[in-house]
Structure 1
Amino acid sequence: MTDRDTRLPGLHLALEVDGDGAHPAAWRHSGRPPGAVLGPGALRDTVAAAESAGFALVTFADSPLPPAAGGPAGRLEAGTRAAYVSVLTDRIGLAPTLHVTTTEPFHLATQLASLDHASHGRGAWVVGAANGEDDAATVGEPVRPAAALIRETADVIETARSLWDSWEDDAVIKDRATGRFLDADRVHAVDFEGPAFSVKGPLITPRPPQGRLVVLVPDALDVDDHADVVLVARPDLAGVAARAADAREAGAPLVFAEVEVVLDADAPAAERLAALDGAALWPETGRLRHVGSPEALVGLLRELSGLVDGVRLHPAVLAVDLPVLVDRVLGDPAAAGNRPVPRPGDTLRDTLGLPRPANRYAAPAATTT
């Protein structure tokens, strides 16, 4: 294979960092005590490695329910994990999963705005919509019918964006002479009344540094027109291509493919997967799944580069697969290619090439002729 064949394409790369990895038996092969997943060390090291390797962002999965019996020792809330690493990093984007079905929209928007402030503009949101009977029971709500879930998801996304806009960028004036902290005329009340929830009043947090956080939406939620990034989960390239085209037609600015990876490491990838499945079977998730060499993964990324704008990688075992990704895929100068990487001082929108949105409540700037 020539150098040209092995160069990485210009894809944005995201990394899912929940727990010990995407495989349900990852905790058995992490090399750490089971309870270590609840401590700060593993998370800190994983995110630091991802940032050093040039990942555009990391995502933090979450669920209203605890891990299944026989699974990991537990899970800390995703927004809390993202907030923890926000002050330990300076380039990488941070995207917790927050569920529209179990979190009040006002609190959701406030938590995410706070993350964007803490990270100086690197916050994002993976939209979750857990809707099983047990999920709904955690907040005493019924399971939503499909159409109602789509409507509620879209409403929460747009209400969050309205709340982020409720403070204009220059609302905080800190005028010592008058003793005014803010200009009340530049803080706007949001008044939303929908079938699932209502919100009245402005956010309690100034507008986020990015204006609005980057919103990543799994394609299964069917709200592509409300996304900044649609996450496409299909088991083959043809399916990814078709679904990506649909997302773009709906108006999504960016499309990322979901890819699970099991790489050759201390043992061939197929042997590693068999050992993991022997402890707990990895169910089909609908995502692309690469089981093989790092070189073959580069080939897959090259094929995907003609179909999507980025890839979110789900390593089977973070402690095993991430070092291989860093050293043999991303860390090889000969394979560096033209992959975009975040720079200190950039917002996540800068990294992804997304413009900073204008505030919907601010009066248009006057123009002179």
Structure 2
Amino acid sequence: MTAPNGRGLLHLAAALDQEAAHDAAPYVESARLAERGALDFVTLGDTFARPGPDALAVLSRVAPATTRIGLVPTVTTTHTEPFHVQAAVATLDWVSRGRAGWHLDVSTTEGEARLFGRRRAAPAEALWQEAGEVADVAARLWDSWEDDAEIRDRKTGRFIDRDKLHHVDFQGTAFSVKGPSIVPRPPQGHPVRVVDATGEHARRVAARHADVAIVRAVNAARADALRTELREAAGRSGRDPDTLRVLAGLTVDLGDGEHAADPGHGGGGPRQTAQGPLYRGGPVDLAELIAAWHEAGAVDGFHLTPLAPRRDLERLVNGTVALLQHRGLFRTFYPGSTLREHLGLTRPVNQYAVAGGAS
């Protein structure tokens, strides 16, 4: 589908993070609100560095309470077992019927390392190299079952066609994995992988493995430069750059209601803060900003983090998103059922089935 400006429709996502919320109800409520706005997906952050509920477990609870919106928890690749991580993400894809994503992240501090006691903290470059290897082996394990590997024939007692089950023997720099997976191939083939490409090392992983890369910029020119860099790097790694969606990450403070954006925000644009680009103003000016960046071809969409979760998400959906829908720049309903369909991404072909079973 295309927008009136001839470009593809916008992709919009929102963060559900809420400090001190340990009950599932606030996350379910926010996810349903985002779904009413037809957003592509919602994210929920997670880290070993601070208290809080497990993001993947929370979104597994949100899954049966929603029907269309994509669900993307942060699951770190540091100090965790790659085999278990891929199985957990695949399970979320099954329970959500094809709406799962996975925001890859790393743990850099010595305090986080001490929680596990297995190894010391490592430099970011080494951690992101490991993250790329985890993304790689996860895809192999998701493909270790062909789509029709399950037989479930009670008469013969056969559960699986062993010829369609492929063994994975992967050796990384810090781990090794032998498959196949214990979970059948997910409904999406590969759940959507999301990487915050703010850092140089993370950008390398995003270019090679991510379906969605999040960049942070205070103007369209910088966002466009980052998108171009990522697409070119994806091409050099052997990927089709059109299989990568680049979203601008932006924290939004819509507490000023319908008032114009703060002058210090560039007349409606974001300004840099210690936490990244921040927009402060009203839903109307935010819609104008999003439309302008999209019109310029700077990004494929936005990942928006409400400063005040409940207040700003409501104003975002009922104000900004509604305006973008009215202008024909964003969908008014979900034409598909999976997160890959929302993002306009095809379902990956099983690498082992194509290779004739060779692993």
TM-score norm. by structure 2 comes to: 0.85
- In the alignment, the residues of structure 2 paired with residue 364 and residue 168 of structure 1 have an alpha-carbon distance, to the nearest angstrom, of 12
Range moving further from structure 2, 218-227 or 93-102: 218-227
Question: CA separation of 1:361/1:139 partners in 2, compared to 1, >3 Å: closer, same or farther?
Answer: same
Q: How far off its partner does 1:268 sit?
A: 6.0
Task: Tell me if 1:126 matches 2:103.
Answer: yes
Q: Deviations over 1:272-320 (max 9, x none)?
A: xxxxxxxxxx96123x321112111011101221211121001100121
Find the counterpart in structure 1 of residue 71 from structure 2.
Answer: 94
Question: CA separation of 1:332/1:255 partners in 2, compared to 1, >3 Å: closer, same or farther?
Answer: closer
Q: How far off its partner does 1:341 sit?
A: 5.6
| Higher RCO (CA 8 Å, separation ≥ 6 residues) | 1
Find the counterpart in structure 2 of residue 233 from structure 1.
Answer: 216
Question: CA separation of 1:188/1:364 partners in 2, compared to 1, >3 Å: closer, same or farther?
Answer: closer
Q: Map 1:130-279 onto structure 2 (within 5 A).
A: 130-140=107-117, 141-219=119-197, 220=199, 221-222=202-203, 223=205, 224-251=207-234, 252=241, 253-265=244-256
- Equivalent residues of 1:9, 1:339 under 8 A apart: no
Q: Deviations over 1:7-42 (max 9, x none)?
A: x9831000010115xxxxxxxxxxxxxx5x111221
Question: CA separation of 1:146/1:266 partners in 2, compared to 1, >3 Å: closer, same or farther?
Answer: closer
Q: Deviations over 1:107-166 (max 9, x none)?
A: 100000000000100000111112122222222222222332232111000011111111
Is the partner of 2:60 in helix, strand or coil? helix
Question: CA separation of 1:179/1:298 partners in 2, compared to 1, >3 Å: closer, same or farther?
Answer: same
- In the alignment, the residues of structure 2 paired with residue 123 and residue 138 of structure 1 have an alpha-carbon distance, to the nearest angstrom, of 28
Question: CA separation of 1:335/1:151 partners in 2, compared to 1, >3 Å: closer, same or farther?
Answer: same
Task: Tell me if 1:15 matches 2:14.
Answer: yes
Q: How far off its partner does 1:234 sit?
A: 2.4
Find the counterpart in structure 2 of residue 329 from structure 1.
Answer: 320
Task: Tell me if 1:60 matches 2:60.
Answer: no
* Structure 1: runs of 5+ lacking an equivalent: 21-34, 67-73, 272-281
Identity over aligned pairs, percent? 39
Is the partner of 1:95 in helix, strand or coil? strand
TM-score norm. by structure 1 comes to: 0.83
Is the partner of 1:46 in helix, strand or coil? helix
- In the alignment, the residues of structure 2 paired with residue 356 and residue 234 of structure 1 have an alpha-carbon distance, to the nearest angstrom, of 30
Q: Deviations over 1:173-212 (max 9, x none)?
A: 1123311011111111111112211101211000000000
Amino acid at match of 1:79: L
Amino acid at match of 1:117: W
Is the partner of 1:38 in helix, strand or coil? coil
- Equivalent residues of 2:287, 2:321 under 8 A apart: no
- Equivalent residues of 2:250, 2:304 under 8 A apart: yes
Instruction: Count the aligned residue pairs.
Output: 328
- Equivalent residues of 1:91, 1:342 under 8 A apart: no
Is the partner of 2:102 in helix, strand or coil? strand
- Equivalent residues of 2:90, 2:183 under 8 A apart: yes
- Equivalent residues of 1:329, 1:335 under 8 A apart: no
- In the alignment, the residues of structure 2 paired with residue 9 and residue 153 of structure 1 have an alpha-carbon distance, to the nearest angstrom, of 31
* Structure 2: runs of 5+ lacking an equivalent: 235-240, 263-271
CA RMSD of aligned residues (A): 2.5
Task: Tell me if 1:289 matches 2:278.
Answer: yes
